């Protein structure tokens, strides 16, 4: 019985045990995980951490790369973005491929490719070579992420332990976001820029050595062939949309990025039509008939769109208004990341006593409070409200990002766990890109309105961005420099307030939707 069937009949859905569902002839897994399984989780956690870390580790290395390799501004953008494009574009394909050829096999292939691509990237002799290596890293990263989550559902048969394991997995993603800039800063102080590319090599070697012995294999023996036309359509859908959204956030409303988004939407329509007609689709659209799956997936998308992208603007405020270095800004976000990591571990424990329809909305209510605290930030008053507010919001996101991912994967049949994992991670990629574009527009509009109404003689460049105001300060009379910069800082703070308020309102709406649509189902952890 699916969770949707259970809801229709007035029953709570049975606990999702993807591991316990096995093919005829396969031995029954143990009821509770032992030392071997927890060591296996540690092995899975390493590539998860590194896939996330590799997204952010380039932030500090980019200036040195530009100097060493003579990379143009366009090439620098591709060095940064190509990795995320490939990860986001291939998550669905790799998740489904793992269901077909074996999740452990795909994980080991991805690990080997990630290690080799890291070496090539570290010793690249040109910008184009580095871009190619980063693209290969993205492809390998797309293979690693859904495989690790799907294998966790195979290894941990006990629902309480599985919830804890998912909490560790989610914590690794969050840790990579903050450890990337910190690790990059430390390495760049002592070594050359390529050293940041070598972080993943030892972990991938360890994965290849111990993975075959510790990790079980699982695949859907009844799955058909991979439809390459669907793969092409999925890429034609995801990549243009992510590219267009990022460019809209960076350059504003331009024809090319808007057209890119439209192309992606049209390709998405064709993709969905094809999936509905195939006997063995890349995505089983029946997953989206499950209310638990839809509600939780949509809520995770919204949370990533709002809260995840808001973190970028917090970091920019600390650097642009308060004048902090990127490394110091990363340290400023550290309390929030630690709070989030703790929340990821506590949320599965709470889920044993509190059903998702209460726990997830309550967590988001805490996040709303955190973003309201951020409204107290003003230029010159310090960044304490930002640091405290970010920490509070991170605590509140723990239940949705841990218990929620368990609900998404648990709502799918065992043989579709890899596909469900890929869908969930793709939704996060879309949410982040969409959030940066939307909230970036909110911030820019609030900034522009306040600068226009400041009563000062504002240069055109300063009217549109804080960076433009800093550049314009060199060309205006000395007596107007300080008023111009003060007005720009105030306007940026107003923009940040608009972002925080928009996020708080959006998360409140998501909390209400979760409370309404998750009234009955409980996590497996609470049912056992």
Say yes or no: 277 and 290 in one domain. no
Residue 27 lies in a domain: no
pLDDT greater than 80 at residue 499: yes
Task: Note the pLDDT of residue 290.
Answer: 78
Residue with tokens 């640091």: 387
pLDDT greater than 70 at residue 251: no
Instruction: Label residue 474 by pLDDT band (50, 70, 90).
Output: low
> Residue 38 is encoded by which pair of tokens?
């927890």
Contact 332, 377 (CB under 8 A): no
Say yes or no: 268 and 290 in one domain. no
Residue 299 lies in a domain: yes
Say yes or no: 241 and 150 in one domain. no
Say yes or no: 198 and 233 in one domain. no
Say yes or no: 342 and 462 in one domain. yes
Task: Note the pLDDT of residue 415.
Answer: 66
Residue 10 lies in a domain: no
pLDDT greater than 80 at residue 357: yes
Task: Note the pLDDT of residue 503.
Answer: 92
Q: Any residues with CB less than 8 A from the CB of 142 and at least 6 apart, and which?
A: 86, 87, 88, 89, 90, 91, 93, 94, 110
The pTM is what?
A: 0.74
Task: Note the pLDDT of residue 241.
Answer: 82
User: In the predicted model, what is the mean pLDDT of residues 32-42?
Assistant: 78
Say yes or no: 365 and 477 in one domain. yes
Task: Note the pLDDT of residue 197.
Answer: 81
Domain end (from 264, 281, 298)? 281
Task: Note the pLDDT of residue 196.
Answer: 80
Nearest to 151 by CA among 201, 104, 117: 104
Say yes or no: 321 and 251 in one domain. no
- Measured in residues, the chain has a length of 528
CA distance 486 to 492: 10
Instruction: Label residue 3 by pLDDT band (50, 70, 90).
Output: very low
Calculate the alpha carbon distances from 514 to 20, 356, 404 in Å. 28, 8, 10
CA angle at 70 for the pair 177 and 184, rounded to the nearest 5°: 20
Burial class, 270, CB count within 10 angstroms (exposed 0-12 / middle 13-18 / buried 19+):
middle
Domain interval for residue 267: 227-281
Task: Note the pLDDT of residue 294.
Answer: 84
Instruction: Label residue 371 by pLDDT band (50, 70, 90).
Output: very high
Work out the mean pLDDT of the chain and round it to a whole number: 78
| DSSP assigned state of 280 | S
User: In the predicted model, what is the mean pLDDT of residues 492-504?
Assistant: 90
User: In the predicted model, what is the mean pLDDT of residues 73-86?
Assistant: 75
| DSSP assigned state of 282 | S
User: In the predicted model, what is the mean pLDDT of residues 205-214?
Assistant: 85
The half-sphere exposure of 445 on its side-chain side, counting CA atoms within 13 A, is 11
Say yes or no: 178 and 315 in one domain. no
Nearest to 309 by CA among 249, 366, 232: 249
> For residue 456, how far is the Cα from the chain centroid?
41
Instruction: Give the model confidence (pLDDT) of 278-291 as tens digits.
Output: 777 777 777 787 78
Say yes or no: 201 and 310 in one domain. no
Number of structural domains (the chain) is 3
Task: Note the pLDDT of residue 506.
Answer: 93
Calculate the alpha carbon distances from 191 to 53, 116, 141, 184, 197 in Å. 18, 20, 25, 10, 11
Say yes or no: 150 and 177 in one domain. yes
Domain end (from 220, 242, 271)? 220
Task: Note the pLDDT of residue 475.
Answer: 66
User: For residue 51, what is the domain's CATH number?
Assistant: 1.20.1250.20
Least confident of 113-122, 210-219, 276-285: 276-285
Least confident of 52-66, 379-393, 419-433: 52-66
Q: Any residues with CB less than 8 A from the CB of 266 and at least 6 apart, and which?
A: none
Say yes or no: 312 and 456 in one domain. yes
Say yes or no: 310 and 232 in one domain. no
Task: Note the pLDDT of residue 266.
Answer: 92
Instruction: Label residue 252 by pLDDT band (50, 70, 90).
Output: low
Return phi, psi of residue 473, to 5°.
Answer: -60, -25
More confident residue, 97 or 71: 97
User: In the predicted model, what is the mean pLDDT of residues 137-151?
Assistant: 83
Residue 47 lies in a domain: yes
Least confident of 26-30, 42-46, 246-250, 313-317: 26-30
pLDDT greater than 70 at residue 27: no
Domain end (from 204, 220, 236)? 220
Instruction: Label residue 73 by pLDDT band (50, 70, 90).
Output: low
pLDDT greater than 60 at residue 1: no
Task: Note the pLDDT of residue 397.
Answer: 87
Contact 462, 488 (CB under 8 A): yes
């Amino acid at each position: 019985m699916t969770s949707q069937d259970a809801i229709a009949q007035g029953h709570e859905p049975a606990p999702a045990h993807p591991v316990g569902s096995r093919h005829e002839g396969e031995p029954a897994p143990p009821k509770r995980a032992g030392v071997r399984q927890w060591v296996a989780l540690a092995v899975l956690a390493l590539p998860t951490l590194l896939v996330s870390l590799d997204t952010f580790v380039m932030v500090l290395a980019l200036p040195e790369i530009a100097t060493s390799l003579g990379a143009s501004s366009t090439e620098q953008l591709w060095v940064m973005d190509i990795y995320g494009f490939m990860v986001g574009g291939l998550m669905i394909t790799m998740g489904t491929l793992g269901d077909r050829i074996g999740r452990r096999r795909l994980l080991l292939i991805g690990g080997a490719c990630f290690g080799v691509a890291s070496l090539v990237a570290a010793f690249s002799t040109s910008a184009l070579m580095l871009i190619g290596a980063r693209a290969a890293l993205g492809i390998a990263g797309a293979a690693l992420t859904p495989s690790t989550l799907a294998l966790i559902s195979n290894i941990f048969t006990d629902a309480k332990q599985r919830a804890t394991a998912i909490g560790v997995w989610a914590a690794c993603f969050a840790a990579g976001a903050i450890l990337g800039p910190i690790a990059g800063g430390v390495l760049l102080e002592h070594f050359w820029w390529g050293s940041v590319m070598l972080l993943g090599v030892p972990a991938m070697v360890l994965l290849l050595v111990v993975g075959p012995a510790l990790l079980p294999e699982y695949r859907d023996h009844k799955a058909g062939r991979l439809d390459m036309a669907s793969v092409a359509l999925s890429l034609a859908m995801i990549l243009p949309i992510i590219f267009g959204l990022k460019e809209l956030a960076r350059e504003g409303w331009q024809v090319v990025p808007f057209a890119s988004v439209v192309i992606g939407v049209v390709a998405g329509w064709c993709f969905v039509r094809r999936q509905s007609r195939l006997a063995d689709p890349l995505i089983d659209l029946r997953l989206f008939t499950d209310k638990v799956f839809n509600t939780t997936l949509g809520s995770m998308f919204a949370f990533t769109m709002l809260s995840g992208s808001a973190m970028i603007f917090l970091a920019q405020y600390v650097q642009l208004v308060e004048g902090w270095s990127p490394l110091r800004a990363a340290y400023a976000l550290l309390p929030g990341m630690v709070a989030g990591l703790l929340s990821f571990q506590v949320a599965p424990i709470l889920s044993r006593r509190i059903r998702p329809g209460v726990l997830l909305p309550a967590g988001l209510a805490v996040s709303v409070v955190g973003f309201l605290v951020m409204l107290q930030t003003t230029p010159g008053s310090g960044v304490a409200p930002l640091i405290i507010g970010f920490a509070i919001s991170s605590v509140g996101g723990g239940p949705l990002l841990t218990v929620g991912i368990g609900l998404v994967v648990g709502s799918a049949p065992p043989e579709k766990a890899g596909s469900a994992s890929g869908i969930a991670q793709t939704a996060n990629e879309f949410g982040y890109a969409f959030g940066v574009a939307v909230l970036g527009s909110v911030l820019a509009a609030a900034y522009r309105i306040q600068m226009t109404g400041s009563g000062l003689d504002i240069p055109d460049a300063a009217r549109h961005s804080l960076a433009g105001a800093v550049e314009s300060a060199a060309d205006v009379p000395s007596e107007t420099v300080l008023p111009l910069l003060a007005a720009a800082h105030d306007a940026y703070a107003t923009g940040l307030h608009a972002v925080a308020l928009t996020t708080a309102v959006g998360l409140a709406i998501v909390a209400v939707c979760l409370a309404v649509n998750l009234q009955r189902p409980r996590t497996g952890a609470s049912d056992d």
